[in-house]
Amino acid sequence: MPVRGCERIWHNGEFIAWDDAKIHVMSHVIHYGSSLFEGVRCYKTRRGAEVFRLDSHMDRLLNSCKTYRMDLPFSKQELVDACVQTIRVNSMEKCYIRPIVFRGYGDFGVNPFTCPVEAYIAIWDWGRYLGVEAIEKGVDVCVSSWTRMAPNTFPAMAKAGGNYLNSQLIKMEATKNGYAEGIALDTSGFISEGSGENIFLVYRGALYTPPLFSSILPGITRDSVMRLAADLGYPVQEKVLPREMLYQADEAFFVGTAVEVTPIRSVDKIEIGSGSRGPITERIQKEFFAYVEGQSDDIYGWFTPVYAPERKRTPAKEVVRA
Ligand SMILES: Cc1ncc(COP(=O)(O)O)c(C=O)c1O
């Protein structure tokens, strides 16, 4: 039975029924992986439904389009508005938002320029990506035998559908072997990221995360967590990290729109720290959830309200935290 996420999907500026959001089998994207997409969360905060870091997600989408020379006939503001409108017409209070842009049905060859660019926004209610227990207890993961794409092959900074063939190999291997997730190394053997999330390590009291040149997606949760962790007195260092630091770390956790902040309790059956969520992970997790669930104030202006009129935003650089 196919899953239905919402009633209405945004398509090139208009709303269509979920069941009408169909494409031709000869669309370029099906044969050549030419899609660019985002994953965004709308949270039910105490102020009402609000979308977390929508501007940053739309910036990344437009940068993905730029890299793949995909001309999108919508401005960033139009895309932001379209996401908000999609939530409104579906009367959702919280949801996961999937804007996707791809090369449609035109000609049959690899050359994408002859195919029209199509844009859709679908939403659905998506709970805890790695399960409810994972948030508290953590997950058991492995290092994948698959590496992330080499530099100058597939651009890791673009969130392209084709990149997720690599992610699928990592995820399938991990789940077949009984792990919740796999961590890929980069082509030099340094830690890169999970199949759909970035990684942080706590090592001797300091926080580390791999840099952009370790073939990671520049995660928006990664950026948010770096800021929140620094506020808590844990500045994050972006460093090339050897594989063995996974096993020797005191704590480790994944971050991403889907996984939010999820502790890692073991890697390749080697316990991380005490084999449960570590204290620094817990503090950062609490700070993150307090922010996204709207218990704390939106001091960085990261939220876009869905139903309420636009609140006055506080630009990040002007924020001084006590
Ligand atoms: C491969 C990969 N890395 C990292 C992330 C985390 O990115 P974000 O925090 O922007 O969701 C994602 C999720 O989109 C991903 O698919």
pLDDT band at 71 (very low <50, low <70, confident <90, very high): very high
Task: State how far the Cα of 17 lies from the Cα of 270, in Å rounded to an integer.
Answer: 48
CB 98 within 8 A of CB 196: no
In this prediction, residues 153-168 reach a mean pLDDT of 97
Which alpha helices (DSSP H) does 147-208 contain, by range? 163-176
Q: Which residue has the tokens 């090139």?
A: 12
pLDDT value at 317 more than 60: no
**Alpha carbon of 198 to ligand 1 centroid (Å):** 6
pLDDT of residue 257: 96
C-alpha Rg value of the chain to the nearest Å: 20
The ligand 1 atom nearest the CA atom of 193: 3
Task: State how far the Cα of 97 lies from the Cα of 90, in Å rounded to an integer.
Answer: 12
pLDDT band at 322 (very low <50, low <70, confident <90, very high): very low
Structure tokens at 307: 């139903």
**Alpha carbon of 102 to ligand 1 centroid (Å):** 19
> Which sign does the torsion angle of CA 228, 231, 233, 235 carry?
positive
Q: Which residue has the tokens 């437009």?
A: 62
pLDDT value at 122 more than 60: yes
pLDDT digits (tens, 9 = 90+) for 210-233: 999 999 999 999 999 999 999 999
pLDDT value at 1 more than 60: no
pLDDT digits (tens, 9 = 90+) for 135-144: 999 999 999 9
Q: Using DSSP, state whether 8 is helix, strand or coil.
A: strand
The preferred substitution site among 53, 221, 226 for testing ligand 1, maximizing ligand atoms within 8 Å of CB, is 221
Structure tokens at 309: 């009129």
Structure tokens at 205: 């009291």
In this prediction, residues 87-114 reach a mean pLDDT of 95
**Alpha carbon of 140 to ligand 1 centroid (Å):** 19
pLDDT value at 43 more than 90: yes
Task: State how far the Cα of 313 lies from the Cα of 278, in Å rounded to an integer.
Answer: 34
pLDDT of residue 61: 98
pLDDT value at 202 more than 70: yes
pLDDT of residue 319: 44
> Which sign does the torsion angle of CA 155, 161, 166, 171 carry?
positive
pLDDT of residue 310: 56
> For all residues of the chain together, what is the average pLDDT?
93
pLDDT of residue 127: 77
Task: State how far the Cα of 230 lies from the Cα of 252, in Å rounded to an integer.
Answer: 17
CB 64 within 8 A of CB 36: yes
Q: Using DSSP, state whether 320 is helix, strand or coil.
A: coil
pLDDT of residue 318: 42
In this prediction, residues 302-311 reach a mean pLDDT of 82
**Alpha carbon of 159 to ligand 1 centroid (Å):** 8
Structure tokens at 288: 């993150």
Share of the chain above pLDDT 90, in %: 90
Which residue is catalytic, options 44, 66, 94, 159?
159
The preferred substitution site among 217, 223, 259, 291 for testing ligand 1, maximizing ligand atoms within 8 Å of CB, is 217
pLDDT of residue 133: 86
> What lines the ligand 1 site, CB under 6 Å?
39, 167, 193, 196-198, 217, 219-222, 256-257
Q: Annotated catalytic, 317? A: no
pLDDT of residue 132: 75
- CA nearest ligand 1 atom 15, residue: 196
pLDDT digits (tens, 9 = 90+) for 170-185: 999 999 999 999 999 9
Q: What are phi and psi for residue 131, nearest 5 degrees?
A: 95, 155
In this prediction, residues 154-168 reach a mean pLDDT of 97
pLDDT band at 129 (very low <50, low <70, confident <90, very high): confident
pLDDT value at 4 more than 50: yes
